[in-house]
Amino acid sequence: QKEVEQDPGPLSVPEGAIVSLNCTYSNSAFQYFMWYRQYSRKGPELLMYTYSSGNKEDGRFTAQVDKSSKYISLFIRDSQPSDSATYLCAFQRGGSQGNLIFGKGTKLSVKP
Amino acid sequence: GAVVSQHPSRVICKSGTSVKIECRSLDFQATTMFWYRQFPKQSLMLMATSNEGSKATYEQGVEKDKFLINHASLTLSTLTVTSAHPEDSSFYICSARFPHMDPQGYTFGSGTRLTVV
């Protein structure tokens, strides 16, 4: 079983749609759950993070974590063409020196 | 937030030559930096972890003699791809670690597109 699984898409939606992006993981030691956005040929930028089960909202974005199911989601409301990017889930292993484990990324395209 | 500068953003080199990529932390000292490689439609794959003043720790399957990492100061880490071959063509990204900013303590460079011809 892979440590992190993420459907690579691509996902194409019309402007204004609600987008749901998901990842599953197998490592119970993961402490932080993150979503990164990566525009083409750029480095990833942190979009949202959380460390507990439940929902966390930031503007049009909602991050959801279900530790019991080892499942995380990112919802984008009122999607905009500027949201077109690759979204990567990421997980932090324990310890201050721990590196991040990334999903494959889901390529999202929001059509005007 | 912290800024990590990565150069060059794009490089084309001939097969057999070496290429150096720089990753510089502009705002804070970074005792740990990570180097990733990303192939098209693939995730970021960790290549090595670089700690200032010590030898880098390479992930399984990554040739340490081919991918030389130097972290000589708290603000600069370099990745040198030696004797590059076309299969080394990829997108290389560095990341600096700032534990005092956790959980937002990972800042990424803008990446380097390496093409070996």
Give the chain A residue nearest B48 (alpha carbons): A99
Number of H helices, E strands in chain A: 0, 11
What does each C-alpha distance from A28 to A19, B2, B94, B104 come to in angstroms? 27, 29, 26, 20
Residue of B nearest to A86 (CA): B41
Centre a 10 Å sphere on the Cβ of residue A46 and count the other Cβ atoms it contains.
Answer: 17
A43 vs B51, B102, B110: nearest CB: B110
Q: For chain B, say whether A103 makes contact (Cβ under 8 Å).
A: yes
pLDDT score at A95: 61
| Nearest to A86, CA basis, from A100, A97, A99, A102 | A102
- Cβ contact, residue pair B43, A46, below 8 Å: no
Does residue B82 carry a pLDDT above 90?
Answer: yes
B102 contacts in A (CB within 8 Å)?
A: 32, 96
Distances (CA, A) of A70 to A8, A58, A88: 18, 22, 16
Task: Show residues of chain B in contact with A45, CB under 8 Å.
Answer: 108
Q: Do A32 and B103 touch (CB under 8 A)?
A: yes
Token pair in block for residue B38: 């990303």
Query: By a Cβ cutoff of 8 Å, what residues of chain B touch chain A?
Result: 4, 6, 32, 34, 41-44, 46, 49, 51, 91, 93, 95, 97, 99, 102-104, 106, 108-111, 113
Interface contact A43-B109, CB threshold 8 A: yes
How far is it, in rounded angstroms, from Cα B59 to Cα A53?
Answer: 31
3-class state of residue B109 by DSSP: coil
Specify the pLDDT at position B58: 95
Task: Report helix, strand or coil for A27.
Answer: coil
Low-confidence ranges of chain A (pLDDT < 50): none
- For residue B45, give Cα distances in angstroms to A43, A60, A81, B37: 13, 29, 28, 5
A58 interface with B at CB cutoff 8 Å: no
Cα separation, A29 vs A92, in Å, equals: 9
pLDDT of residue B69: 94
In the prediction, which pLDDT does A94 show? 64
The set of residues, in sequence order, having a beta carbon less than 8 Å from that of B105 and lying 6+ positions away, is B97, B98, B99
User: Rounded CA gap, A19 and B27, in Å?
Assistant: 35
CA dihedral B25, B26, B31, B37 (to 10 degrees): -10
B89 strand-pairing partners: none
Beta-carbon separation of A49 and B104 below 8 A: yes
Q: What is the pLDDT of residues B18-59, one digit of tens each?
A: 999 999 999 888 878 999 999 887 888 999 999 888 889 999
B113 or B42, greater pLDDT = B113
Residue type, A40: S
Interface contact A97-B42, CB threshold 8 A: no
pLDDT given for residue B100 in this prediction: 76
| Structure token digits, residue B4 | 């990590």
What confidence score (pLDDT) does residue A40 get? 87
